[in-house]
């Protein structure tokens, strides 16, 4: 290997002195990067992918760690080699260096070594792919149907009827919040009748696309009570950024209470003025074109929601499709799939300036419509009062839960995997 | 080859341009590969500025949570056009500019095989670029005035915003309904996933995008065929394939990739157009009939497969020319031949071949099932092997060399170093379970910017410094060049490295804004600061170009002491390139002639490239004098293609044909009895030009 020995430079002592100043920009850059990496602020990151909260994300995280460390070694090795070569073989005279055309041994070596590393990486990759795919086919899992809409999520529970006495009323339906009993082995069946979305709860699972015409499945076990933030990860048009949702993993009794509350009319003490908000205000009639509230007269009034996904005609006319089910609306954290916190003031803003708050939304503005006269301030007030009363008297599920990113990973590891089975369906 | 008798063709006497040395007309009718290279380069650089401006607006919007610099609609348009512009209108044409400039010179040819087709490629490219960007031209002023309005409102209270709004509501031409074209900026993302591009969920902007890409595809295909034929047929005598410079290899393989990959997107776009206008249901799983949703039988997965069968080779269409350029630059400034030339050629070929077998890795989260997922993961990992070999061979080329860090070399070594980062994050994406977390997040945005900016753009910028003296006869300023490099390097890493952290923190790409609670603001601020550094670096480059243009300097044929044939002829090269077509005996012919020839045992007088160098030093010895040669070129006995109107006219025809279809809608009312008149004019022009072209004498 003598031809890889560099020429001995007579002037190396002096050249070395002049070499370091040239390195200053590079060192400064490395310094800045290191400084920035270390100085990132301690902010809560509820969508983070690197604090797994169940076995599935733990699997992913373990694979990520392997690839990360392998990559780091390769990265440092290559960068060091480049930096060292760049420094050592700087031009110091006009001599022509030895003309080396290649080295078969070396080239074979650095073909085989990466191949071996990649093979080592591929084996656990393939194992995990098949493991996760098999889990999604589990027969005894708790099924939840997810319908991606522009730009919100409809969640329905096919195993939980809306009315146990009348299966014809269909399953229990909610929107933008998935309530799950702790320990449930959940399989989400992802559907879309419009464009492609992607269902992603980073702390509980990787994403799976919601593909029109395909019933994609995504499985995970809700091991730990908590609130986990989810989002749409496939570009789906206008308000793609505001298609957030939450997964609330609650104890089994809270889950049962939530189902019971969904089925019964809202508490009458929700509104001190009328003392009976089970009766929706007359202005709510307009909302019934697209929305339903189960457990109240709103469900009975009018059958059949629009059969289209919501779209815009070529001339710009907005054709709304079915909107989110409003049962227990006051329990949801946000309005408009994450865009506003759910408060009476914000509800008023939403009803009065719908299209300004959420760009491209299919819900018409009934307060300030483009044509004709809209609802009055009093009617909006009535609607806000009614909507904000839609919650159970005994409180909402998951009220006292920590956000997932605040749950310590050690708590998850401590959980006995044998307890985590699929018998959570009520 | 110096003199070819032209067959006499009895053709209709069509008007023909005269070969003029300068002036606008000479540029419009040129078929000279060097001039077409300049046209491509200048156009691509203008679009680099446009795409960069779009990037800056994107960064400005994301600097803080719930920002309102642009609304969601405009934001979607910005990232769509940023991606489409940078891929199709910057990196591809800049590569083509270098193909045009370098390849015929490296091969020892007088021009490409089909010079008029070369002109046609450029004008058709410009037509496609115009179709894509005419809406942008109208929308960008609106965006800036809106930003000014928002800023005014923030500082001085409301008032101006209303005035601005009123101004834009006013448009003095009643037959245009509002500010023309501004609402037609494509907004569906550069990979335009159906069914978002179906008419139910989109407007006419998709047609601008689809037709613009179709026209660009015509230009790319014509160019690719041209270079394949040129490289196969026009190599100088003695230049076997394995003596061919590596950049010409990269060009050949890239051209083959273009020829094989573009038909896939052409078909995909034709089917999309059928879906949009013909009521077919290729990509529609559901259809709306009388307000009711019915199963349509189509499948949005079909679009994704067709698109990525094009789209993944496209990635290599963007990076392989860069690999070729780096393989030219590093040996020159190391004063050593490329380490493992044959393996480098095989590696390019292997990457290109495997590139057709990995498209599903863009679709790992679409639910295609575990077996194809695992198979495509394995194929994706395989690509890392030839890529890794290339990286290490470049490092080995430098090892033991005599390294001179000119700006070109800095950019080339910058690629070697930065591409490693993009390559490693690429391997992470092949680990599918990890990819389900990274896919469609900012981690992917970081990855492909490390590959396309740290890869393609670095190499192309380096190549600008490297080949600038060959084109213009002047060296770009090295001090400004080094400032340019370090600003780019710093800004690039500040912008895109934090995006890894954003992706790990769960920030999906294509989010027009984000909430404060998501915790993403810090790294977004850093990324925006980095983008400002990149903007500053581009300004430094522009200053460098202007100062160099004003400087009075003359460089010789070979300012870098490079070894390939393009450095044997004067800078800038004469229109006929080579007085004598050189005889090639070695890979780095000039190095051989200069350093090695006298050491060879048999000492035969090989290497006519050597004779060329000698001719430049002693023109009086030439058998054929310079003046005589130029006279021959003038009268056509050196076989040089004549300038022609027809490539330009064909380009205009294609533009009118496509653009006429786009504006033939009630919004513009430019049809006449339902006949799209603009398209009609374009069609007639196109057919007439092809006819004229066919009968134009070659010589």
Res. B635 pLDDT band, cuts 50 70 90:
low
> What CA–CA distance (Å, rounded) separates A147 from A139?
21
Asked if A1 reaches chain B (Cβ–Cβ under 8 Å), the answer is no
Could you tell me the strand order of the sheet in which A208-210 lies? Answer: A177-181, A244-250, A226-232, A197-200, A208-210
Q: Kindly tell me if the per-residue pLDDT of B179 is higher than 90.
A: no
Joined together, the tokens standing for residue B227 give 């270079």
Task: Summarize pLDDT for B44-92 with one digit per residue, the tens.
Answer: 999 999 999 999 999 999 999 998 888 899 999 999 999 999 999 999 9
User: Which residues, 6 or more positions from B605, have their beta carbon under 8 angstroms from its beta carbon?
Assistant: none
Measured at the CA of A45, the angle between CA A42 and CA A47, to 5 degrees, comes to 165
**B439 contacts in A (CB within 8 Å)?**
206-207, 233
Residues 172-201 of A with CB under 8 A from B: 190, 193-196, 198, 200
Asked if A403 is an interface residue toward chain B (Cβ–Cβ < 8 A), one would say no
Please state whether the predicted TM-score (pTM) of the whole model is above 0.80: yes
- The pair phi, psi for residue A18, each rounded to 5°, is -85, -5
Indicate the burial class of B179 (C-beta count within 10 angstroms; 0-12, 13-18, 19 or more): middle
The region of weakest confidence among A310-319, B586-595, B605-614 is B605-614
Which residues of A are less than 8 Å from B520 in CB distance?
A: 45
Q: Is A32 on the interface with B (CB under 8 A)?
A: yes
Tokens read off for A37: 């990496």
The residues in B 152-191 lying below 8 A from A, measured between CB atoms, are 188-189
Binary contact (A82, B417; C-beta < 8 A): yes
CA–CA dist B58, B445 (Å, integer): 13
Angle separating helix axes B92-107 and B33-62, nearest 10 degrees: 150
Name which of B296, B268, B294 is nearest B281 in CA terms.
B296
Structure tokens at A247: 């997964």
Question: Cβ contacts (< 8 Å) between B494 and chain A: which residues?
Answer: 32
Dump pLDDT digits (tens) for A8-67.
444 443 344 445 555 666 666 666 666 655 555 667 889 999 889 999 999 999 999 999
Closest alpha carbon to B61 in B499, B447, B524: B524
Closest CB to B433 among A59, A78, A111: A59
State how far residue B243 is from chain A, nearest Cα, in angstroms. Answer: 13
End-to-end CA distance of chain B: 13
The alpha helices in A241-292, defined as continuous H runs, are 252-263, 284-287
Q: Is B572 on the interface with A (CB under 8 A)?
A: no
Separation between Cα atoms, residue B524 and residue B59, nearest integer Å: 8
Give yes or no for A96 touching B (CB within 8 A).
Answer: yes
Where is average pLDDT lowest: A192-196, A408-412, B222-226, B296-300?
A408-412
Q: Which CATH architecture has domain B642-699?
A: Orthogonal Bundle (1.10)
B20 touches chain A (CB under 8 A): no
Between the ranges B3-12, B169-178, B663-672, where is the mean pLDDT highest?
B663-672
Q: Rounded to an integer, what distance in angstroms lies between the CA atom of residue B609 and that of residue B594? A: 10
Q: What torsion, rounded to 10 degrees, do the Cα atoms B411, B414, B419, B425 define?
A: -140
Tell me the C-alpha distance between B480 and B476, whole Å. Answer: 8
> Which DSSP symbol is given to A95?
P
Summarised one tens digit per residue, pLDDT across range B430-480 is 999 999 999 999 999 999 999 999 999 999 999 999 999 999 999 999 999
- Straight-line distance from the first to the last Cα atom of chain A, in angstroms, rounded to the nearest whole number: 72
User: Please, what's the b/e burial string for A243-259 (b: 16 or more CB within 10 A of its CB; e: otherwise)?
Assistant: bbbbbbbbeeebbebbb
Tell me if B436 and A206 make a contact (CB, 8 A cut-off).
yes
Which distant-in-sequence residues (6+ apart) come within 8 Å of B376 by Cβ? B357, B358, B359, B360, B361, B364
Nearest CB to B433: which of A3, A129, A213? A129
Which residue in chain B is spatially nearest to A70 when comparing CA positions? B424
Length of chain B in terms of residues written: 699
B331-370 pLDDT per residue, tens: 999 999 999 999 999 999 999 999 999 999 999 999 999 9
Give chain A positions within 8 Å (CB) of B424.
Answer: 71, 74-75
Flag if A194 and B201 touch (Cβ within 8 Å). Answer: yes
Give percent of chain B above pLDDT 90: 68
* C-alpha–C-alpha distance, residues B418 and B398, integer Å: 16
Return the domain boundaries, chain B: 33-244, 576-635, 642-699
- Chain B positions touching A99 (Cβ under 8 A) are 336-337
Inter-chain residue contact A43 with B522, CB threshold 8 Å: yes
Write out B90-108 in H/E/C secondary structure. Answer: HHHHHHHHHHHHHHHHHHC
With CA atoms as reference, the chain B residue closest to A320 would be B291
Q: Is the pLDDT of residue B619 over 70?
A: no
Q: Is B514 on the interface with A (CB under 8 A)?
A: yes
Cβ pair B300:A59 closer than 8 A: no
* B533 pLDDT higher than 90: yes
Residue ranges of the domains in chain A? 142-418
E strand or H helix at B35: helix B33-62
Residue A216, min C-alpha distance to chain B (Å): 6
In three-state secondary structure terms, A218 is strand
Predicted local distance difference test score (pLDDT) of residue A272: 43
Q: Does A92 touch chain B (CB under 8 A)?
A: yes
Which regions of chain A are under pLDDT 70?
A: 1-42, 265-278, 296-304, 404-426
Q: What is the biggest distance separating any 2 CA atoms in chain A, rounded to whole angstroms?
A: 97
Whether the CB of B369 is below 8 Å from some CB of chain A: the reply is yes
Q: Do B505 and A49 touch (CB under 8 A)?
A: yes
CB contact under 8 A, B341 and A126: no
- The architecture CATH gives domain A142-418: Sandwich (2.60)
Cα–Cα distance for residue pair A210/A235, rounded to 1 Å: 11
Residue B327 burial (10 A CB sphere; 0-12, 13-18, 19+):
buried
- Map residue A403 onto helix, strand or coil: strand
Identify all chain A residues contacting B71, using CB atoms and an 8 Å cutoff.
359
Calculate Rg over the CA atoms of chain A: 29
Contact A102 B201 (CB under 8 A): no
pLDDT of residue B1: 36
**For B183, which residue in chain A has the nearest alpha carbon?**
A316
Q: What is the model's pLDDT at position A130?
A: 96
Q: Given a cut of 70, is residue B174 above it in pLDDT?
A: no
pLDDT computed for residue B621 by the predictor: 46
Residue of A nearest to B363 (CA): A209
Of the listed ranges A251-265, B298-312, B404-418, B438-452, the least confidently predicted one is A251-265
Lowest mean pLDDT among A160-164, B373-377, B651-655: A160-164
Q: In a 10 Å sphere around its CB, with 0-12 CB exposed, 13-18 middle and 19+ buried, how is residue B596 labelled? A: middle
Query: Any idea which architecture B33-244 has in CATH?
Result: Up-down Bundle (1.20)
């Amino acid at each position: 290997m003598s031809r890889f020995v560099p020429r001995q430079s007579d002037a190396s002592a002096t050249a070395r002195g002049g070499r370091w100043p040239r390195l200053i920009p590079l060192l400064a850059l490395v310094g800045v990067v290191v400084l920035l990496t270390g100085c990132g602020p301690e902010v809560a990151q509820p969508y983070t992918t690197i604090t797994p909260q169940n076995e599935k994300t733990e699997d992913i995280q373990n694979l990520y760690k392997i690839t990360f460390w392998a990559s780091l070694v390769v990265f440092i090795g290559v960068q060091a080699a480049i930096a060292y070569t760049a420094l050592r073989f700087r031009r110091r005279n006009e001599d022509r260096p030895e003309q080396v055309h290649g080295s078969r041994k070396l080239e074979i070596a650095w073909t085989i070594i990466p191949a071996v590393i990649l093979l080592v990486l591929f084996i656990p990759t393939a194992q995990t792919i098949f493991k996760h795919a098999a889990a999604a086919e589990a027969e005894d899992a708790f099924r939840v149907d997810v319908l991606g809409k522009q730009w919100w999520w409809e969640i329905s529970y096919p195993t939980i009827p809306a009315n146990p006495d009348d299966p014809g009323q269909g399953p229990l339906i909610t929107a933008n919040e998935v309530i799950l009993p702790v320990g449930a082995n959940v399989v989400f069946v992802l559907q879309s009748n419009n464009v492609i979305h992607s269902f992603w709860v980073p702390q509980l699972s990787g994403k799976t696309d919601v593909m029109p015409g395909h019933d994609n499945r995504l499985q995970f076990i809700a091991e730990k009570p908590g609130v986990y933030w989810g989002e749409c990860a496939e570009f789906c048009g206008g308000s793609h950024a505001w298609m957030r949702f939450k997964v609330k993993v609650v104890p089994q009794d809270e889950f049962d209470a939530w189902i019971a509350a969904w089925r019964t009319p809202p508490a009458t003490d929700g509104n001190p003025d009328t003392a009976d908000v089970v009766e929706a205000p007359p202005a709510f009639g307009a909302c019934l074109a697209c929305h339903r509230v189960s457990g109240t007269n709103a469900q009975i009034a009018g059958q059949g929601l629009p059969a289209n996904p919501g779209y815009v005609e070529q001339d710009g006319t907005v054709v709304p499709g079915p909107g989110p089910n409003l049962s227990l609306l006051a329990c949801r954290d946000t309005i408009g799939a994450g865009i506003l916190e759910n408060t009476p003031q914000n509800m008023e803003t939403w009803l009065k300036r719908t299209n300004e708050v959420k760009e491209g939304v299919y819900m018409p503005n009934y307060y300030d419509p483009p044509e004709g006269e809209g609802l009055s301030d009093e009617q909006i007030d009535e609607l806000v009062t009614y909507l904000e009363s839609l919650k159970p008297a005994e409180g909402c599920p998951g009220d006292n839960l920590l956000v997932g990113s605040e749950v310590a990973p050690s708590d998850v590891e401590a959980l006995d995997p044998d307890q985590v089975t699929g018998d959570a369906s009520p | 080859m110096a003199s070819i008798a032209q067959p006499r063709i009895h053709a209709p006497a069509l008007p023909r341009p005269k070969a003029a040395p300068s002036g606008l007309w000479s540029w419009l009718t040129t078929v000279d590969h060097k001039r077409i290279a300049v046209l491509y380069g200048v156009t691509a650089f203008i679009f680099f500025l446009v795409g960069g401006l779009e990037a800056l607006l994107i960064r400005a919007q994301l600097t803080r949570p719930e920002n309102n610099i642009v609304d969601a609609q405009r934001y979607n348009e910005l990232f769509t056009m940023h991606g489409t512009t940078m891929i199709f209108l910057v990196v591809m044409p800049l590569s083509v500019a270098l193909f045009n400039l370098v390849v015929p010179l490296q091969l020892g040819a007088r021009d490409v095989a089909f010079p008029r087709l070369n002109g046609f490629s450029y004008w058709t490219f410009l037509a496609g670029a115009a179709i894509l960007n005419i809406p942008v031209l109208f929308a960008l002023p609106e965006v800036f005035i809106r930003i000014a309005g928002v800023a005014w409102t923030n500082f001085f209270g409301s008032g101006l915003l209303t005035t601005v709004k009123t101004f834009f509501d006013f448009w003095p031409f009643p037959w245009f309904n509002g500010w023309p074209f501004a609402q037609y900026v494509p907004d569906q993302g550069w990979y335009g996933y159906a069914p978002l591009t179906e008419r139910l969920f989109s407007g006419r902007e998709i047609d601008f995008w689809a037709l613009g890409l179709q026209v660009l595809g015509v230009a790319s295909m014509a160019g690719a065929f041209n270079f394949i034929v040129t490289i196969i047929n026009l190599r100088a005598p003695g230049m076997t394939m394995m003596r061919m410079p590596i950049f010409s290899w990269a060009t050949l393989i890239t051209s083959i990739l273009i020829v094989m990959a573009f038909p896939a997107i052409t078909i995909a776009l034709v089917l999309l157009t059928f879906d949009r206008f013909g009521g077919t249901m290729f990509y529609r799983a559901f259809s709306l009939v009388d307000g009711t949703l019915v199963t349509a039988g189509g499948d949005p997965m079909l679009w994704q497969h067709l698109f990525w069968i094009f789209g993944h080779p496209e990635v290599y269409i963007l990076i392989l020319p860069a690999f070729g350029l780096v393989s030219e630059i590093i040996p020159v400034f190391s004063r050593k031949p490329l380490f493992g030339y044959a393996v480098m050629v095989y590696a390019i070929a292997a990457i290109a071949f495997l590139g057709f077998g990995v498209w599903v890795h863009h679709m790992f989260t679409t639910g295609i099932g575990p077996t194809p997922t695992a198979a495509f993961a394995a194929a994706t990992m395989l690509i890392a092997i030839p890529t890794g070999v290339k990286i290490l061979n470049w490092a080995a080329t430098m090892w033991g060399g005599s390294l001179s860090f000119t700006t070109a070399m800095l950019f080339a070594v910058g690629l070697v170093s930065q591409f490693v980062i993009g390559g490693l994050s690429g391997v992470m994406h092949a680990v599918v379970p990890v990819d389900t977390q990274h896919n469609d997040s900012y981690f992917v945005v970081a990855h492909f910017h490390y590959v396309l900016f740290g890869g393609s753009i670095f190499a192309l910028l380096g190549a600008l410094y490297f080949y600038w003296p060959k084109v213009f006869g002047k060296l770009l300023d090295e001090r400004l060049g080094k400032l340019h490099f370090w600003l780019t390097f710093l800004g690039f890493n500040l912008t895109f490295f934090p995006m890894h952290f954003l992706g790990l923190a769960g920030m999906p790409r294509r989010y027009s804004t984000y909430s404060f609670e998501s915790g993403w603001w810090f790294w977004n601020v850093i990324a925006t600061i980095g983008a400002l550094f990149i903007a500053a670096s581009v300004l430094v480059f522009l200053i460098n170009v202007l100062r160099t243009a004003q400087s009075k300097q003359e460089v010789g044929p070979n300012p870098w002491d490079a070894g390939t044939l393009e450095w044997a002829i004067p800078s800038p090269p004469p229109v006929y390139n080579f007085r004598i077509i050189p005889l090639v005996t070695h890979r780095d012919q000039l190095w051989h002639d200069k350093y090695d020839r006298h050491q060879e045992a048999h000492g035969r007088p090989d290497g006519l490239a050597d004779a060329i160098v000698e001719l430049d030093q002693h023109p009086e010895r030439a058998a054929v004098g310079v003046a005589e040669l130029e006279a021959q070129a003038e009268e056509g006995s050196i076989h040089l293609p004549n300038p022609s109107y027809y490539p330009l006219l064909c380009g205009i025809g294609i533009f009118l044909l496509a653009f006429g279809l786009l504006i033939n809608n009630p919004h513009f009312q430019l049809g006449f009895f339902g006949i799209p008149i603009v398209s009609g004019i374009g069609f007639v022009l196109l057919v007439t030009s092809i006819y004229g072209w066919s009968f134009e004498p070659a010589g």
